[in-house]
Amino acid sequence: MRRLRRLVHLVLFCPLTKGLQNRLPGIKVKYLFLAWLGIFVGSWVVYMHYSSYSELCRGHVCQMIICDQYKKGIISGSACSDLCDKHTLVFQQCLSPSPTKQVYSGVWKGKAVIIKCGITESLKAENNPDTAPRRELVLFDKPTRGTSMDEFREMLLNFLKGNLGDQPSLAGLVSQIITMADVNQDGKVSLAEAKSIWALLQLNEFLLMLSLHEKEHTSKLLGHCGDLYLTEKIPHSSLYGTEVPPFLRPLLPSALHRLIQQWFAPAWPRRAKIAIGLLEFVEEVFHGTYGVFYICETSSANVGYNAKFDFKMADLGKVAPEAAVRAFLKGRHCEQNADCTYGQDCTAPCDRLMKQCKSELIQPNLAKVCGLLKDYLLSGTPADLQEELQKELQICMTLSGLASQMEAEGLNWLHSYLNSLLQRGQNTPRKGL
Query: Domain limits of the chain?
Result: 58-119+143-232, 246-425
Q: What is the pLDDT of residue 430?
A: 40
Instruction: For 234-251, write each residue's pLDDT tens digit.
Output: 998 888 877 766 666 667
Q: Is the pLDDT of residue 264 over 50?
A: yes
Q: Are 275 and 376 in contact (CB under 8 A)?
A: yes
What's the rounded mean pLDDT across residues 140-159? 91
Lowest mean pLDDT among 6-10, 56-60, 231-235, 354-358: 6-10
Q: Is the pLDDT of residue 205 over 60?
A: yes
**In Å, how far are 264, 266, 271, 312, 371 from 376, measured between CA atoms?**
11, 10, 8, 16, 9
Instruction: For 377-425, write each residue's pLDDT tens digit.
Output: 888 888 888 888 888 888 888 887 654 555 655 566 666 767 776 676 5
Q: What is the pLDDT of residue 27?
A: 57
Residue 91, H or E segment: strand 90-94
What's the rounded mean pLDDT across residues 94-105? 87
Asked whether the whole model's pTM tops 0.85, one would answer no
Q: What letters, b where the CB count within 10 A reaches 16 and e where it falls short, cover 391-406?
A: ebbeebbebebeeeee
Distance of CA 216 to the CA centre of its chain: 17
d(CA 432, CA 54): 36
Q: Is the pLDDT of residue 10 over 50?
A: no
What's the rounded mean pLDDT across residues 68-72? 94
What's the rounded mean pLDDT across residues 106-127? 72
Q: What is the pLDDT of residue 130?
A: 40
pLDDT bracket for residue 131 (50, 70, 90): very low
Q: What is the pLDDT of residue 22?
A: 52
What's the rounded mean pLDDT across residues 185-210? 93
Angle between helices 404-424 and 268-286 (to 10 degrees): 160
Q: What is the pLDDT of residue 142?
A: 85
d(CA 63, CA 51): 22
d(CA 358, CA 340): 8
286 vs 182, higher pLDDT: 182
**In Å, how far are 108, 154, 210 from 151, measured between CA atoms?**
34, 5, 21
pLDDT bracket for residue 88 (50, 70, 90): very high
Residue 391, H or E segment: helix 383-397
pLDDT bracket for residue 136 (50, 70, 90): very low
